[in-house]
Structure formats: structure tokens, C-alpha cells
Structure 1
Amino acid sequence: MSGFDKMKDKAEQLIGKGKEKLGQTTDNEDLEAAGKRDQLKGEVKETGHDVRDKAAGAVKDAKDALRDDKR
């Protein structure tokens, strides 16, 4: 995952955390729920990027192993 993608995902989670806390402080349930949603979206995106990177690494490892077998 690019560093920029990781920063965007973390920023979304951090903004969501702030919204949630502000919602709790002001007794605004809608803002609190929006914050929780933002946090979850950031976590899902981060997990998706991690899975994609691991899959790409596994494909690269498999290609490298096949190349080594042919030599």
C-alpha cells in the first residue's frame, strides 16, 4: 500500500474519532454515529489495502519461485 493511502485511511479514522467524541460531548447522536461510521470506513479501507498488498506479495513470491525452478 502506498504511504499516501495509509495516511488517508488513518486520517479518516482519526476524523471519525473526533466526530464521535464531539457527538458524545454535545449529546448529538447523529454526529456520534457519523464518527463511528467514518472510523469503520477507514478501517475497512485499510484492511482492504492490506489484503491487496499481501495478495500482490504472494503472487510475486510464486512468480519468483517458478523462475527459480526453471533455472
Structure 2
Amino acid sequence: MTLIDQLKPHVFKKIIAETYKRSGFRVKITKGSHDYGVDVFAEKRKDKIYIQAKLYLKQKVNLKAV
């Protein structure tokens, strides 16, 4: 198990948001319910990125999940 696997989901979302923020994006972390699967929203000029964070400990994320 790697260090990133040990993170709590909300901490992982904050790391993702901070990474985009440092790249000049305005970011918003969604509350979790009724978010249509979006965990982090990042926007810079006309670029809009919708991010869904997944945590699978026993298996790899498959293409269908993405």
C-alpha cells in the first residue's frame, strides 16, 4: 500500500484541488451528494475541468468506471 492509498477521500480531493489551484485554476470541491459524480471543478479562462476522484483499494480502476 502506498502513501496515497492511505489518504482519506476528502484529503485526496483537497490535494487534487490544490494542484489545479497552483496551476492558476479557480477550484471548487463539491459537497458530495447530488454532484453528478464531480468531486472537484476547476476553471481557468475558457477551460473547465470536471474531476471525479476514485479510491479502489482492492482493485484497479477499470475503463468503465472512468
| TM-score, structure 2 normalization | 0.29
Higher normalized helix content (fraction of residues): 1
Higher normalized strand content (fraction of residues): 2
| TM-score, structure 1 normalization | 0.28
Answer with 1 or 2: which has the greater Rg.
1
Q: Which has the higher contact order (CA 8 A, sep 6+)?
A: 1
